[in-house]
Amino acid sequence: MSHTEPQIENKHRKTAGKRLILQWPTVPMARGTLDDSAHNKVQTYLPYIDGLRGLSVLAILLFHLDITYFRGGFVGVDIFFVISGFLITKIITREIQASHFSFATFYARRIKRTFPALFAMMFASSLGAIVFLGRAEFYEFFKALRAASWDVSNIYYSHATDYFAIGNDNSPLLHTWSLGIEEQFYLIWPLLLIGIHRFWGLNRSLIVLATLLTASLAVSEYLVHTDALQAFYLLQSRAWELSLGGVVAMDTIPAIKRQRGIELYSALGLVMIGIALSFSETDFPGLKALVPCLGAALIIYTARQGTGLVHRMLSLPLIAFIGLISYSLYLWHWPMIAFYKSYFGSGLPTHVKLAIGVASFGLAYLSYRWIEQPTRNMKVLPAAVISCGVIAIAVFIVGGNILKHADSAGWRMNYSVDEAAGQPNDLYKTCAVEGGAYDRRHCIIGPNKDRYEVILVGDSFAANYIPTVLAWAQGRGLTVRIFLRGACQTFVEREEPVFRQGKRDSYCMDLTKAFYKTLDEDTSIRYIFLGLMLAHDNGDLRKSLERIDGYHKRPYYLGDVASFPDNPHECQVKKNLLLTRWFPRSHKDCLAFDQEYAGKQIGESHATLLPLLKEMKIAYFDPLPFMKTPFDKQGHFLYWDNGHLNQYGGLYLVPYLTAFMDKQLEQ
């Protein structure tokens, strides 16, 4: 096989069989064409592969457009992995067997096929970030841009994002995670195939590949239940999907020769894909991902000896054409959705879904026709291609580093955020983070560090009250220990494990044990201030309050403050971006309470929490009557995000908590 891969011209469908197309697989890496014509003039065009790719990218598009009947459309990526593993393995093994495989040529092809459209999308998205995003989103976008530039965005997002919380995380580059997995896989896969060829022979590869496939699947199933983000984003739990396509490509499994079998098993594959489109995100990928992946593998496998009705359906011109533009369609559709949701702060109305759908296809065709095709057909030495790829990566990484600090630049917006208002209270980043509860030097405040009388315990909503409780305690000469962490119900003992971003939260569970050990050992404690975000009466909370009551201390529950639907600072920034004069957002006041929203949020909690506290005779401090406006008397805004008070907010509540405690202590 030749070291270069001539491309299919969009207008020459009849001669497509003479061309080898390789595209990056998240949307697949390769078109359905195999070519070794430089050696034996055998050409094979696989039009049903294009159709299978078209079906997969449509599922992804409809899933991202929040179409109800495609809630499992995310499995389209898994199908792409199988297709990509199949096509790339076919190409690599043919070149190995013909003694013409070259790493330089292999990676130069990858760069030519994937970088031009990818970097064009990232450049356009960077302009979109400047125009549409608030401060925090802008900063995070350019951090993600750096990761996507050198194909490690899957690793970046595995530490930061729940993919299925799309409504809450609208990162315009979130979809590049799958390109990262494929790039990392293709660093290893050629080496593995060369090793198999040298030591065992490719015709005896099935045992080796099946073993590796099984191991990766086992890792995936294990991580699904222990660290869901790693299971979703990282190579070790996804490699089996690409390997499955590779196993099919190796031709070590006997072909189905009877037409009846071809029809039956290919239809079964299509049914399995259809079933997967109804999947929920629970316990995915893991064993659940076998359904769409085996479905795709069956369709590809059954076509070895001949095609059936399913293959002919997938070869229809329209669906095959969508497959041809699928890489660009995948790249361009998600940023438009993400920018719209971020800027307008809402779901997708029907007319917007239609507009984005049409625009996605339009941009995909233009990208395919004017970016993908010309760069594929360029005759450039591999060394030059790789050099250009490295330069592009470096330029985008450096550019991302520079631009991420321009989140509040005057050339981008005409609004200035009070830095003190946009930050948590002074002790939050020290005492409400992992390890803070054990920091006795900084998080025990007052004159009696060895025999403190007050302990503040709970999650980040309890941390709202750090300045409030400290001021009250200071007025009485008392010492306070801050014993909490964000997103951890510190004092609630749970029968089930606690998870944080899909991973078992051992620190939180250990912190709960440490809290009760502290109550056992630190007998000087007289006052316990409790706080949680929108707590409800359940068995775990009830048992925990009963246990606290058994210590015969004086517990007080600090109530929820009103929340905003969106971060008010980010909302205000977006209302003052330079774009806003032409495309205004909602006319509602970002810095005013949405009483209906806040009432519904807190009312649902109060319905069960307040009767429980009354039953337990635990006094409840309700801040809502004192917070009719989110500003103090000096005009300072009281929140640093949509539900957490800043230093101003914590101090604002001091006189009200003091009056509440005076009343309680008189009783």
pLDDT in tens, 207-254: 889 999 999 999 999 999 888 889 999 999 999 999 999 999 988 888
Backbone angles phi, psi at 522, to 5 degrees: -95, 85
Band of residue 658 on the pLDDT scale cut at 50, 70, 90? very high
| CB distance 492 to 541 below 8 Å | yes
Edge-to-edge strand ranges of the sheet holding 619-621: 444-445, 480-484, 454-458, 527-531, 554-558, 619-621
Average pLDDT estimate for 72-87: 96
pLDDT digits (tens, 9 = 90+) for 601-655: 899 999 999 999 999 999 999 999 999 999 999 999 999 999 999 999 999 999 9
Q: Give the single-character DSSP code of 416.
A: -
pLDDT value of residue 650: 97
Residue 580 DSSP label: G
pLDDT of residue 189: 95
Q: What is the pLDDT of residue 627?
A: 92
For residue 225, count other CB atoms closer than 10 A to its CB. 14
**What's the maximum distance between 2 C-alpha atoms anywhere in the chain?**
97
Q: How far is CA 488 from CA 365, 460, 463, 499, 509, in A?
A: 47, 8, 11, 9, 9
- Both tokens of 7, joined, read 């491309």
What are the DSSP calls for 13-29, one per residue?
Answer: GGGGGG---B--BTB-S
Whether pLDDT at 344 is above 90: no
Contact indicator for 482, 513 with CB cutoff of 8 Å: no
DSSP code at position 176: G
Radius of gyration of the chain (CA): 29
- What pLDDT was estimated at residue 521? 95
CB atoms inside a 10 Å sphere around CB 168: 9
